[in-house]
Structure 1
Amino acid sequence: MKKTSNTQRRTLNIEWSADGFCRETPTEEYRNNKTPPKYDLEDRLLDFAVNIVELTESLPNTRSENHIAGQLLRCGTSPLSNHGEVEAAESRKDFLHKLRICLKELRETKRWLRLVGRLEKLGQPANLAVCSAEIEELIRIFAASVRTAAKKRERISRFSSLASSVGRWTSDVCLPAF
């Protein structure tokens, strides 16, 4: 019989709730040893929305700039709230749908930012370069997330259809006919 050493190992305090979900309550030691998380996507979207608001506030108060600012403000801040909807999705299909909405809004924002960059009378607004760089990264992040979620959903649906067809086959073969 192989003996194990009596060393203390770091473990998580895991608590299972009545609804079957795992609730983690990490110890202070575990929290201190854990590497800090990378920049949270929600924080990035929040910072991006703030930059969009500041950019739209810096645009001149003319008829065309008000229209552009309004469109940019709506589509540039909506990924933040839509990401909250993604986190509260009711199904895998709903999750994927809401991720795609975020991606569509980000792509629309990119178009409006390009328009602002091309308008010569505006010059180069202060936050335009920051917003343009961040929108590219956010689009890549959300596009990769959509691809991953779609593949996962396809794999699961393929597996469930296979499992249901195997179940029908085994019930036809194994169960005696009455």
Structure 2
Amino acid sequence: MPVNKDYDLEERLAKFAEKVIKTMQKIPQNAINSRMISQIVASAGSSGANYSEANEAESKKDFTHKANIVKKELKETKHWLRLLACANPDLKEEFRNLWRENHELLLIFSKIINSCRKKN
């Protein structure tokens, strides 16, 4: 049975990272932006990569650990979104949309982690 792509977290995280990359390509390159762009592209991309690893976890404990790493990467992404929005106010709406998606993903992973802990 095919997975509904609306609820496929691997796909959702990949699309989120793609949106981050596309938005970063619109930002002017300068000393301030360049470092932040590198950081946010890394953390947004790492979220999906770590979730892919979590799906191959060898135990529930391993899955929970990897899901926590995803959550940490999403928190880092949220931090960089805030700073990039401050440095690039002309893209405020795009950053707001990315922030919303990032926030939803954080809520999802918080729920996943809490559910895993309750089962242990």
In the TM superposition, what is the alpha-carbon distance from 1:130 to its structure 2 partner? 2.0
Select 2:20's aligned residue among 52, 55, 72: 52
Select 2:118's aligned residue among 139, 151, 154: 151
| Aligned partner of residue 25 in structure 2, secondary structure | helix
Match of 1:114 in 2: 82
Displaced runs of 4 or more, over 2 A: 36-39
Q: Does the CA contact (< 8 Å) of 1:51 and 1:127 recur in 2?
A: no
Partners of 1:41 and 1:134 lie apart in 2 by 12
Q: Give yes or no for the alignment of 1:79 onto 2:57.
A: no
Larger radius of gyration: 1
Unaligned ranges ≥5, structure 2: none
Provide the alpha-carbon RMSD of the alignment: 1.9
Q: Quick one: which amino acid aligns to residue 101 of structure 1? A: I
1:9-37 per-residue CA deviation (whole Å, 9 max, x = no partner) reads xxxxxxxxxxxxxxxxx7xxxx9xxxx83
Task: Determine which structure has the larger helix proportion and give its number.
Answer: 2
In the TM superposition, what is the alpha-carbon distance from 1:129 to its structure 2 partner? 2.4
Match of 1:13 in 2: none
Count of residue pairs brought into register by the alignment: 119
In the TM superposition, what is the alpha-carbon distance from 1:145 to its structure 2 partner? 0.3
In the TM superposition, what is the alpha-carbon distance from 1:122 to its structure 2 partner? 4.4
Larger RCO: 1 or 2 (CA < 8 Å, sep 6+):
2
| Aligned partner of residue 48 in structure 2, secondary structure | helix
Identity percentage over the alignment? 33
Select 1:88's aligned residue among 36, 41, 56: 56
In the TM superposition, what is the alpha-carbon distance from 1:131 to its structure 2 partner? 0.8
In the TM superposition, what is the alpha-carbon distance from 1:127 to its structure 2 partner? 3.1
Partners of 1:115 and 1:135 lie apart in 2 by 15
Unaligned ranges ≥5, structure 1: 1-25, 154-178
1:28-77 per-residue CA deviation (whole Å, 9 max, x = no partner) reads xxx9xxxx835321121111010011122111111110001000110011
| Aligned partner of residue 91 in structure 2, secondary structure | coil
Partners of 1:106 and 1:97 lie apart in 2 by 14
